Amino acid sequence: MIENVLIGQFIDASSIFHRLDPRSKLISLFCIIIAFLLIDNISGYILASLLVVGCITLSQIPLRFFLKGLKPILIILAFTVFYHILFTKGENLLFQYSILSIYKESIIEGFSIVLRIFLLVLITSLLTLTTKPLDLAHGFEILCKPLKRLRFPVEQFSLMLAITLRFIPTIVMELDKIIEAQKARGVNFEDKSFVKKVLSYIPIIIPLLFTSIQRAENLANAIDARAYGDGSGRTRYKVLHFENRDYQVIGISLLVVGVFFLLRMVGG
């Protein structure tokens, strides 16, 4: 569990994506998401699919890790396809039986929506599969620096992310302890009726919140006592550097946006 939270979905390999700066990955991903949202014709979908397949191959990460992200949304996507096949109207009638009529356009419509969601989910998985959460948080913090002008507390927010990551394992242990303690006091968590099961959250969550408040007070005092301030001007062990490959990748991503914009204008 502890390793799980710190590593996130990160899979170690030595691909170009693993070596890129997290900032350039975030910027390029943003560009590519915009590019995919511009797609409105078959050639766009083919090009986007090729791009995604190419990126997945380059990442050297086994395909099953990418498919894991698709699994939870499969039911909704299947429903979407059926919905469009049954209810969307078109011009080219393919099949008719009493009130049921299926059009060519409706099948294309259903599958293209699902394909677009598939492509977006796969390309965004690439980011979190090749970057550790803390590196990503660091890159995110630097990219958000301009928001400080709007008085958004960027450094404080990044400190909060670090505190949360650090305390999840501690609170998991706390939760286990509370469940054991309540069982020793005779609280029955094995009750059959589901209303009683939901009510059994109460003797777990109340002590959990109590201890969290005490912990927060101690931690806040410790931070203040060390005169940490709001985290601005903090130095880091790991410093991010842009290299040639970072500029190249951002350049390629901008090019991709341009290509997809042209494809939409021309129509194909």
Partner 1 sequence: MNTKDMVMAALFAAVIAVLGLIPPIPISFIPVPITAQTLGIMLAGSFLGRKVGTLSVLVFLVLVALGTPLLSGGRGGLSVFMGPSVGYLISWPIAAFAIGYLTEKFWDNMKLWKLIIVNFVGGVLLINIIGAPVMAIMTDTSIWASITGAIVFLPGDSIKAVVAAMIAVQLKAVSPIKKKTPILTQNMQYSN
Taking CB under 8 A as the binding criterion, the range among 38-46, 99-107, 202-210, 256-264 that sits at the site for partner 1 is 202-210
Q: Which is nearer to partner 1, 41 or 244 (CB)?
A: 41
In the complex, least distance from residue 224 CB atom to partner 1, rounded to whole angstroms: 5
In the complex, least distance from residue 244 CB atom to partner 1, rounded to whole angstroms: 26
Q: Which is nearer to partner 1, 79 or 242 (CB)?
A: 79
Per-residue burial over 58-90, b = 16 or more CB atoms within 10 Å of its CB, e = otherwise: ebebeeeebeebeeeeeeebeebbeebbeeeee
Binding test (CB under 8 A) with partner 1, winner from 145, 197, 234, 245? 197
The yes or no reply on residue 133 touching partner 1 (CB under 8 A) is yes
Positions in 207-236 near partner 1 (CB under 8 A): 208-210, 212-213, 215-217, 219-220, 223-224, 228
Give the C-alpha separation, 100 to 114, whole Å: 22
Which residues pair with residue 93 across a beta bridge?
103
Residue whose tokens read 């341009």: 258
CB 36 within 8 A of CB 119: yes
The yes or no reply on residue 29 touching partner 1 (CB under 8 A) is yes
Give the C-alpha separation, 117 to 123, whole Å: 10
The yes or no reply on residue 115 touching partner 1 (CB under 8 A) is no
In the complex, least distance from residue 38 CB atom to partner 1, rounded to whole angstroms: 15
The yes or no reply on residue 127 touching partner 1 (CB under 8 A) is yes
35 exposure class (CB count in 10 Å sphere: 0-12, 13-18, 19+): buried
